Amino acid sequence: MAGPRSVKQQLVLFLSFLTILACFVLPAVSVKHENFKTCSQSGFCKRNRAYADEAIASGSNWKPPYELDPSTVELKNGYLHGIVSKTIKSGEKIRLPLTVSFLESGAARVVLDEEKRIKGDIELRHGSNIRKERYNEAEKWAIVGGLAPNKAAVFSPESETGYTKVQYGPENQYLMVLRHAPLEISFQRDGETHVKLNDRGFLNLEHWRPKVDAPEGETTPEDESTWWEESFGGNTDSKPKGPESVALDITFPGYEHVYGIPEHADSMSLRETRGGSGNHEDPYRLYNSDVFEYELNSPMTLYGAIPFMQAHRKNSSVGVFWLNAAETWIDIVKAKSTSNPLSLGLSGKKTTQTHWFSESGQLDVFVFLGPNPQALSKTYGELTGYTQLPQQFAIAYHQCRWNYVTDEDVKEVDRRFDRYQIPYDVIWLDIEYTDGKKYFTWDPMTFPDPKGMQDQLDASERKLVAIIDPHLKNENGYPIIDELKGKDLGIKNKDGNIYDGWCWPGSSHWVDCFNPAAISWWKSLYSYDKFKGTFHNTFIWNDMNEPSVFNGPETTMPKDNIHYGNWEHRDVHNINGMTVVNATFQGLVERKKGQLQRPFVLTRSFYAGTQRMGAMWTGDNQAEWGHLAMSMPMVLNQGIAGFPFAGADVGGFFGNPDKDLLVRWYQTGIWYPFFRAHAHIDTRRREPYLTGEPFMQIISQAIRLRYQLLPAWYTAFHEASVSGIPIVRPQYYIHPEDEHGFAMDDQFYLGSTGILVKPVVAKDQDSVDIYLSDNEKYYDYFDYTIYQGSRKWHKVPAPLDKVPVLMQGGHVIPRKDRPRRSSGLMRWDPYTLVVVLDENGSADGTLYVDDGEGYDYEKGGYIHRQFIFVDSTFVSEDIGTKGPKTDAYLKSMADVRIEKIVVIGAPAEWEQKETVTVIEDGAKEATKAVLQFTGSKNGKAAFAVVKNPNVGIGKSWKIEF
């Protein structure tokens, strides 16, 4: 029994934790495997794998016990209802209500629940008074739209006995084929099956049963050792509801690659998990945890979980979203494709077979039929929401370490960035700024003057981010803990008393943001008069929200803890972190009446939907080349899974990076959507200005490159915020027909700009091989060297001072070229447009601009332009919609002009040209601007520069070359 620990025991644990922590700064220590379960140590994981093994071993003798009773089936208004029965050994039939919803978006949703538990017709063990149902509220937290049913869904005229078929989706072009016995559901597009559920018969919904003790001296017929309670690492989980896992196999016929289901430190294209060379032994695990010193190339769980998977093959993408917040494991194997007469020769060489199992909750799975990655991003985003459009500063450079130790220290760092002319936007405070780890307070000795500090930052439009964690110090006289207890807003233990565990402050309680009253309270804590010393330029970092509990099982909370609504922690674990971030986000929206600025919150823990609330980072990585290399696949998979505002600690959290590693990390980090340097308390200071020459100059240049491209980044964020498309895009998003690129996760494109990057992530490497999929011309970003040739590798030089960046022909890239101290100071700066001509002498691109901080953009207060270069004419067209704030915004931007246009791949005949003709909308007459032409030589493209065309960024105009 895991009774409450004595204070002494807790202290010992805490001290041993500190000792462990101290060891982490030594190089080459690795994750404590013994702290985290393997599949065979997790009862339901082991049971479901064994179930699958039995099915496979039985071959055609396997009789899956689930069937649909056709007489119960009805289809109405886009919903199909029926009763599935599970026949158990005694012959009894367990009733499982099935609902398939056909959604307007073209997605289909399959929900299977258990009638006895729904009706509460079960007995709980240990006299528990938790809820009897399977958890059915994940939707409430994760889903914000996209559930409108497609009422036009109809039974298909081509009926077949033993099957129910429904036409649905766009113009009813999709077909769901439901086989009654054994139950199998498959989904077709264009006459071809793309997704199959229970094709292998691994469906397993552990029905409720009473615990029957075997007579003395006998064993139970089934292995019940993990059914009624389960121990790990000295903690016992009491399991009042008994075994209740849900499992399903999902097959993607002809699909060789699957992606997503972050967070794992692994390749973007997921590996097989059932052993064999190059494969994992364990399934990918999703159970938000604080994994110290995490290891690379591993299916181990990390801090966040998004159970959304994409499958891709030549010219087709499909996906599934497994809406379940409990501990989840996913097995993946790839089988030879069986020849399919309907496949029209499109099938890949392999079929990916997946097997999903969660410890509790309903079976709830969404099936998306693509047909391409963009459509998947969009449909998934309709359900869980799109990336919040952040403030402009949030996509600039963030300077963090554990810890800037005093307010004077912060001010000195700020001054030194200026002295060395290195731009940055945000400086961060880790836990040491608080008074004794009591959040919402300042240490009066070290931070006596938060206002003076923030005034200095504000003078150059810089911001402060302060950490606030959800564990609250259990100390008498700390008003916040008194309120938490007084209002009864904490997470409870299994006995219904407030849960007490160890975290940074020692003995702590945790706010339960599943409780609406706790959300309101947590929000209120951020108002300026409550959290004294914070101002309009203070933003928040929520860390440790998995939640991390130093003395808890697997460094988190006991699963039999109890949340608001009498749900067990087991049911909601993976959503827990998101509820805290959400409450913080809402708190920042409301912290001052009349002040409407967009919040910024960074979170470590996340679930499907957290993209609506801020940014994530990949947690406590290490100052090693391998961690640098792994950061890109991790960031790309975040984008694939709908949460693209992602980054890794630049420089590596644990350890001291060598100078070359630090340089390469900055050159990579400038391509993370979330770009922050961070370091452990025991590392040496490594702010860019401390690195010495030539490193400091090289790092400054890299950071300036990020700032120069902020207009392109902001435009890419805007696209993500309306369509869900990743901000940095993997090769298969851009070239979905080129199989060579499907597993590529070390080169990527920035938004729709055609900028293709392959950072150097290995020591002593002075060139990279970039793969070009299409036959377009690509140009080196800095010197315009031409690379051309489809389906070929090209060697691009990459000495230490160079990031390999190419520009694909056919794009217009917006930039701001004047170096400044912060992005805020660039607001009124003029633009440069880089026109990268394609083989036909054409190019296009877009630009999105708004005030970068408020919500006027929701009322039309923005500029959205399309630039088109065709037939020697360059035009800017409005693609924005008008709103009540449009005119005022355009007026405020009237003086923001274009100061330079660079045309790359300029035709040779422009050599004779000295001017171009500029016609701005509303101008009385055309004007001339000077053109300077530089011919092609030494493999470098010809280019032309138009100086000061003097057209407005918010205006329509035409320039004739």
> Contact residues for ligand NAG (CB under 6 A)?
141, 315, 519, 578-579, 582-583, 586, 609, 737, 810, 838-840
Q: Which two tokens stand for residue 264?
A: 């794992």
**Residue with token string 């929200």:** 545
Phi then psi for residue 276, to 5 deg, are 100, 165
Instruction: Give the DSSP per-residue string, 333-398.
Output: EEEEPPP-TTSTT---SEEEEEEEEESSS-EEEEEE--SSHHHHHHHHHHHH-PPP---GGGGSEE
Q: Which two tokens stand for residue 413?
A: 């760092």
CB of 839 to ligand NAG, least distance (A): 6
Residue 77: half-sphere exposure toward Cβ, Cα within 13 Å:
2
> Residue 164 belongs to what H/E stretch?
strand 163-168
Q: Hey, is 92 helix, strand or coil?
A: coil
CB of 737 to ligand NAG, least distance (A): 4
Q: Is 266 a catalytic residue?
A: no
Are 252 and 270 within 8 A, CB to CB?
A: no
Instruction: Output DSSP code: residue 706.
Output: H
CB of 345 to ligand NAG, least distance (A): 8
Find residue 959's DSSP bridge partners: 874, 918
CA dihedral 721, 727, 730, 732 (to 10 degrees): 30
Q: Is 543 a catalytic residue?
A: yes
**Residue with token string 């919903």:** 79
Q: How far apart are CA 673 and CA 750, in angstroms?
A: 9
Identify the active-site residue in 199, 266, 500, 620. Answer: 620
Nearer to ligand NAG, 737 or 769 (CB): 737
Instruction: Give the DSSP per-residue string, 543-611.
Output: -STTT--TTSGGGS--TT-EEGGGEEHHHHHHHHHHHHHHHHHHHHHTSSTT--B---EEESS--TTGG
* Interacting residues of 571 by C-beta distance below 8 A, sequence separation 6+: 135, 325, 326, 360, 361
**Residue with token string 């012959």:** 91
CB of 567 to ligand NAG, least distance (A): 14
User: Is beta strand 463-467 parallel, antiparallel or unpaired with respect to 538-542?
Assistant: parallel
Identify the active-site residue in 512, 543, 745, 780. Answer: 543
Amino acid at 9: Q
**Residue with token string 């952040």:** 390
CB of 828 to ligand NAG, least distance (A): 35
Chain-centroid distance of CA 471 in Å reads 24
Nearer to ligand NAG, 40 or 840 (CB): 840
> Residue 330 belongs to what H/E stretch?
strand 328-336
Phi then psi for residue 907, to 5 deg, are -65, 145
Q: How far apart are CA 526 and CA 484, in angstroms?
A: 15
Are 823 and 844 within 8 A, CB to CB?
A: no
Q: How far apart are CA 588 and CA 347, in angstroms?
A: 49
Q: Pick from 481, 540, 483, 525: which is nearest to 507 by CA?
A: 481
Q: How far apart are CA 710 and CA 673, in angstroms?
A: 11
Q: How far apart are CA 537 and CA 738, in angstroms?
A: 46
CB of 766 to ligand NAG, least distance (A): 32
Are 609 and 384 within 8 A, CB to CB?
A: yes
> Residue 663 belongs to what H/E stretch?
helix 659-669
User: Is beta strand 755-757 parallel, antiparallel or unpaired with respect to 748-750?
Assistant: antiparallel
Are 541 and 428 within 8 A, CB to CB?
A: yes
Q: Which two tokens stand for residue 502?
A: 């160890």
CB of 734 to ligand NAG, least distance (A): 11
CB of 802 to ligand NAG, least distance (A): 28
Nearer to ligand NAG, 519 or 544 (CB): 519
Q: Hey, is 34 helix, strand or coil?
A: helix
Nearer to ligand NAG, 82 or 845 (CB): 845
Question: Looking at beta carbons, which residue is closest to ligand NAG?
Answer: 582
Q: Pick from 794, 796, 765: which is nearest to 782 by CA?
A: 796
Q: Pick from 299, 429, 363: which is nearest to 100 by CA?
A: 363
Q: Is 69 a catalytic residue?
A: no
Are 131 and 85 within 8 A, CB to CB?
A: no
Identify the active-site residue in 359, 414, 546, 568. Answer: 546
**Residue with token string 């011309």:** 777
CB of 842 to ligand NAG, least distance (A): 6
Q: Which residues are catalytic?
A: 543, 546, 620
